[in-house]
Amino acid sequence: MKGLVEGKVAVITGAGSGVGQAAALLFTRHGARVVVADIDAARADETVALVQAEGGEACAAHCNVADEADVERLIALAVATYGRLDILYNNAGITVTGSPGKGPKSLVETTAAEITAIQAVNVDGVLYGCKAAIAVFAQQGGGGAIVNTASIAGLIGYGGVAYGATKGAVVGLTRTLAIEVAAQGIRVNSVCPAGMPTRYGGMDATGPQADRVRQSMGSAHPLGRAIDPMDCASAALFLVSDLASNITGVNLPVDGGLSAGVPLRR
Ligand SMILES: NC(=O)c1ccc[n+]([C@@H]2O[C@H](COP(=O)([O-])OP(=O)(O)OC[C@H]3O[C@@H](n4cnc5c(N)ncnc54)[C@H](O)[C@@H]3O)[C@@H](O)[C@H]2O)c1
């Protein structure tokens, strides 16, 4: 069977871990060649090794998405290495971590430096990625797909306030940009996951307390199980593939039904 992104060239940011790593594995299983970008070069190398162990094609790139010049170099590297760019997955993101076991910091505990830092990665990083990719898509004569990792925190009240503000921005820019570039045949969508047990926010911690947190995260979802990074990668794959060729401006929840409504008490 042909893969869903056979022959396409994709850049995935934050691909050294969690959702980005799952997406690198899934996209290459479906025939894409992937530039695995991360601020942590060793983690990017780890993902590339996992892809190559399965026979997939990928290369690693060190990139801080909060630095526009770095992002421009990343997109140029994809073109130099694989000859073109078809897909950008803006996935890198950070949170403002509270003290262990206490969940996210409240807004009044969050410092101005933390607000600046989270916006730089979660919002500016996505804008820089989109700008650089759209310039290449235009040079190639149009077409191309962008998917962003937002969060259900961009759709409903969920988790830390500073984080929610950044993900609300991603949801908004996904819609607005989709309209701006639709005439060029470029599609822009996002995936909006609920909490996942990744390194992010220390949610990959082990031990009885971490297990309890994960269990309660899962049982809060109407479908009854926690979200896996591969659930999110699968939604992203669909959105960048030709199966979604007439879908743009969509922010797709991957949350086991959590954002669908409040369950009736029986
Ligand atoms: N885990 C969750 O509960 C959850 C829920 C909703 C949304 N998200 C979003 O999912 C995305 C992926 O997070 P994850 O859960 O896989 O976390 P993760 O920490 O496992 O992976 C994030 C990766 O991004 C990299 N990164 C961080 N800052 C970067 C930067 N400035 N430039 C480039 N790379 C950078 C990290 O090194 C890491 O490898 C993020 O956008 C996050 O906000 C996560």
**Is 163 designated active site?**
yes
Predicted confidence at residue 247, as pLDDT, reads 98
What pLDDT was estimated at residue 100? 62
Mean pLDDT for each 10-residue chunk of the chain (266 residues)? 94 98 98 98 98 98 98 98 98 85 85 97 99 98 97 96 98 98 98 89 72 80 92 98 98 97 78
Give the per-residue pLDDT at 215: 80
Domain 9-251, CATH: 3.40.50.720
Radius of gyration of the CA atoms of the chain, in A: 18
Nearest CA to ligand 1 atom 23: 14
Which pLDDT belongs to residue 201? 64
For CA atoms 244, 36, 38, 23, give the dihedral sign. positive
Q: Whose CA is nearest to atom 1 of ligand 1?
A: 196
9 CB-contact burial (10 Å; exposed 0-12 / middle 13-18 / buried 19+): buried
Q: Is the minimum distance from the CB of 17 to ligand 1 under 6 angstroms?
A: yes
Atom number in ligand 1 closest to CA 22: 16
Q: Which of 82, 89, 163, 200 is catalytic?
A: 163
How do the domains of the chain map onto residue ranges?
Answer: 9-251
| Protein residue with its CA nearest to atom 31 in ligand 1 | 64
Specify the pLDDT at position 102.
Answer: 66
* Ligand 1 touching residue 34 (CB < 6 A): no
